[in-house]
Amino acid sequence: MGKSKVRFCITKDPIAFHFSHVALEEKNVTPKCVKFSADGSFKLQNMSKPYVCNTLGQGYFSVVVPHKEKKGVKIWVLGMGLGCAGLVLLGAVMVVIFRVVRNKKLRKMEKQSEKGVAFDTFWIGGTKMPSASMIRTQPVLENDYVP
């Protein structure tokens, strides 16, 4: 023999469900009754008394509490986003300052090199090296003794 559902219809006074075991941590929230029907739908309704739900039909009943989002979480997320953007901006500023200082030093060294004696240059691998093209001082023997 299979299972069968019992159906009932209430025409006068509703059935009251007392949820005496429910205790809320926050006092400024208003709990609501929720009725889940067999077809998967649900219906929210206000409680008639504290923790009392009334119904004229069948279903599954429970108590729900509306969720209030805390403002602190939004501020924290906003702060983290602004902090990350600030770090990226600070990094970009540091890179720009580093490049400006480096280019300034290079220009100063180039000016000093233009004032000195010009050397020919040649490449060794990937490095440019100065090279003297001629001998500046002629070699002289220190004594007259020649073997």
**In the beta sheet, which residues pair with residue 71?**
none
Residue 84 included in any domain: no
Residue 53: how many other CB atoms lie within 10 Å: 23
Q: pLDDT digit string (tens) for 89-112?
A: 999 999 999 999 999 999 998 888
Average pLDDT, the chain: 80
The pTM of the full predicted model, rounded to 2 decimals, is: 0.39
Residue 3 included in any domain: no
Q: pLDDT digit string (tens) for 15-43?
A: 787 877 777 766 777 788 888 887 888 88
Q: Give me the number of domains the chain comprises.
A: 1
Residue 31 included in any domain: yes
Residue 147 included in any domain: no
CB 44 within 8 A of CB 32: yes
